[in-house]
Structure 1
Amino acid sequence: MNLHHVSPEKNPSGLFISTKRLLVMVMAALFLAVSANTFAQSPDVRKAFRFIDIEQPSKGLSALEQLVSANPDNADYLYYLGLAQLRTGAKDKALASFEKGLSKDEKSGLNYAGKGHVRLLEKNSTDAKAQLDKALSVSKSKDVGVLKAVAEAYLTDTKYLLDAINLLNKAKTINGTDPEVHMLLGDAFLLQNNQNAGETVNSYERAAKADPKFAKPHYKIGKIYQRARTLDIAISSYEKAIAIDPEYAPAYKELGEIYYTQKAADKAVSAYEKYLAISETPGQAKFQLAFFYFMAKNYEKANAIFKEVTTNPNVSPVALKYNAYSLTEQDKTDEARGMFERYFQKAKQEDITASDYAYYGKLLLKLKQDSLANESFAKSIALDSAQAEILQLHGDTYLKRKKFPEAIEAFKQLMAIRQQPLSQDLWSIGRAYYYNEQFPEADSAFSQLAQKQPNMTVGYLYAARAKANIDSTMKEGLAKPMYESFLEKALSNPEKNKKDIIEAYSYLGAYTLHIKNDVLGAKAYYEKILGLDPENSEAKNFMRELNKASKGG
């Protein structure tokens, strides 16, 4: 057979085709390979999904709606609109878009994938699988866009993770430079709960390499390291995302969260301010910024946001709580009290913390509601008995109210949580014992205080007073050594300590006169009193009686 004379079009074996037809077939194959991802890489579609990524969904949806309006018969654009609607939580609208896409092209693999995606979200796995299989069937599993769409649908249910990974690996062999393929692979590996943590990061890094202007991979890498508490790398990744796209809102939000955990309040505030300036859907972030302002001690700005947040009848108890805290710090005491009352009314009893009652107690002290403050401190201590500051305030407030037994109990609790009592503890409980007329206990506390603080006068003075009450007849002279020790310290500044020095001289003079029967010795003490206070009645009376006696009556 002379093959050169056989018409190529009539060749039954198909071994020969015309050059023109060969060219057409090659072009068609190339078109299929490229068009598989045309719309995903379309600048308009990418721009629309960027808006969704940076939390500006209204702009993203509007851009896609305009694309659909300008191209009403384009089924692919309807799929991307539906996908955007799914990502923004509008499931019913998404389903309508996918069905409309199928009405334009009954062989649209993308829209079958979209319908399957919706069915999986509805937990209708049977219909979902049928729709997704149809998507692969009509596209012959060679369309990268469809492979991605089906894989993304499968990612909504972890039992299909391996199916998703297999499809994405197939897509990668068709087009290894598609950043979205690598992103979805990273998402799939991430859902395997750290089984492939390294491969997750590698996939996101490949996505970043495939499109250096794509901020999302760096953000995703940051999330992985943030979850692993490797915060320096997380921060670096978020900063890379922001360097690529200064409007990448989620990166600012996560930076704010990291800075909060690091107690870098000013940085947390700055990051959240930038986040809120970009995001259309901040959710609880506005409240979070108010909390960061509170943490940064910018109570005015915190309260401005809290005021807006707390007007909502469905406001969370947590928002009421921190608004009350912040108002307290700003000394807006009446407003703070009202906010605390709203909080205590709305919060579940088990959610109210020791800190809440402690804060409220401090506020009540500012409002001069001392008895109510003690009630609040008692509730706080019942929840956490190891709060030194609150136990101190609790005891001090009882002491101020002359509720000495209650003060003693509070100070005992305070001292029980210390390894060794502080000087302040001994001073506090010593006074409570003293004013409750428990003089031996007071003497013990003040004597310990004098030992701890030998250069301070107060321990000696109050120990002397306690001993004077124990030995009220002065018969044993118990107070004498302590008053003498007090004078050794106090005489270095007689003007400052004049009243207490006179008290010490008075005791020593009386003891010397009445117990020791030493008139001249007593006279020396009373002369010292008159040197400090010439009008002192006790000393003047002594001197007058002494003069009478010396004159014989």
Structure 2
Amino acid sequence: MKKVFFLLFAAIVTVSGATSQTIAEGIKYLNYKKNKSATDVFKKLYDANTKDAQNIYWYGQALLAVDDVKGAKAIYQKALQEGVNDAWILIGMGHLEIIEGGDLNAAKQKFEQAITMTTETKGKNKNKPNPTILNAIGRANADGGSKQGDPTYAIDKLRQAAALDLTNADIMINMGINYLKLGGDQGGEAVKAYQEAINRDPKNALAMYKIGMIYKSQDNKLLFEQFFNDANIADPAFPLSYNALYDYYANRDVNKAKENIEKYIQYADKDCNTDFLFADYLFRAGKYQESLDKAKAMETGECKTYYQLPLLYAFNYDRLNDSIQAKNNIEKYFAITAQDKITPANYEIAVKILSKFPGSESKTIAYLQKAIDSDTSIANKIVYANQAAELMGKAKMYGEQIKWLQTAVKFKGGTMGEADYYKMANTAFNGKDYVATMEVAKKYIEAFPAKPQPYYFNVRAAKAIDTTATLGTAIEPILQQNVYLLGDTSLVNVDKNKKAVFVNYYYLLKYYNDVLKETQKAIDITDKMLILYPTAGGEENTFATQTKDALTKALSKSANKSNGK
């Protein structure tokens, strides 16, 4: 599951001063995703006092941070069994309900019970809920993927908390995360929440980083670099911004990537993730064998079950042209990895690898759909949709290709560019859907009347519909194309256009004479041929002259018969 950890409870701890500082340090480790360090801190606190509700709560949160859901559940259940019936434990259990995909209403009942248990019964805050409890509820709903929890419910609780506690920046960070869980269109509200967190705590590196990540998803380099750098000015030991910058530069600037990954490794916990990222850097730097060797070394130690190890193998085997190993490892990665841990880039490499194997189209398309669903960047969604369209085209699944092209257009806001029209018309034609080809071609002509391609598609599709050339389907498209071709007077196209128009005239000639039996219309076409090629002796002129003579004689003979001569 994707973990989000936040600064929380700066002034809420009711235990001793020394313990309070230790809890604050542990929370900071969680916030910085130094999860191993956080687990060590909270385990010591828990071991020192297994009945303290906050110790129990935070130890469980640390276990969740390292994906030990069973461990966290055991800690919370043990507390309840031993009579620690506290609001913090209820929130922890509700959090687990969300993470495990359980009954959301049951989780909310636990949250509401926690609120009731901690609502003031006297003094100036009588009947007011405890803002730290509301904040913890917001935190629980902020964890996990977009389908987990109830962000709308959480935002309501966090707004109450923000009104009651005007200084806690963490409330606003949790609010921002929950806004993002509502969808990418809530990015503006998330930025406002994070900015308010900075207003409350000008040194809040996490809030700056969170804003930077939103701008990174929009590929706004100027702004995301500004906020990532601000985060590291606020705290040079904050590792997450270095990681984000490494991710950006990994395929763009090896030197900057190296600088940032070294900073990240310097300040992050030394664990399987840092080993993975260093191996990933070696891969990005083109040192595939070194990266592969690092992966093999990880497999012999504590990191042998690390979920990203198969991904590392897939990267390197793909570049080393071992497609079978690459395919086996990328499929293993998706089999063992929780959905909310998989990034759009991971789906992209899966598509690249599986595209080499005919018959894998359905699985590849499924990965592209997941990439679209998980990526907040509209530009990236368009890329994925076009990739899917290209894949379907190669598989000659033209109906599906058109659907994906339409999906790409939808992501663009519904406005089709010239390339979109061309792809759509070409796909429909390749799929032998000639009626659809003509429909697209007509719209293509309206949008880009000065381009030759739409007229070409319109004529070819019309001819394909009328295979016997007797229905007249192609007549109007041909006349329309001729107007365009004769109006294109650019020197580079004159000879080519004349030949195309002559071929069109031949089609019209045959239709008027052979099908409609309108000899005069056929003669008129030969006159147009002669205007096009007036010089005697040429192949086209000779054909037009001889045909006109023959048609004129036939018309005269027919007229004489009609007159009884």
Give the TM-score normalised by structure 1. 0.49
Query: TM-score, normalized by length of structure 2?
Result: 0.48
* Higher RCO (CA 8 Å, separation ≥ 6 residues): 2
The higher radius of gyration belongs to: 1
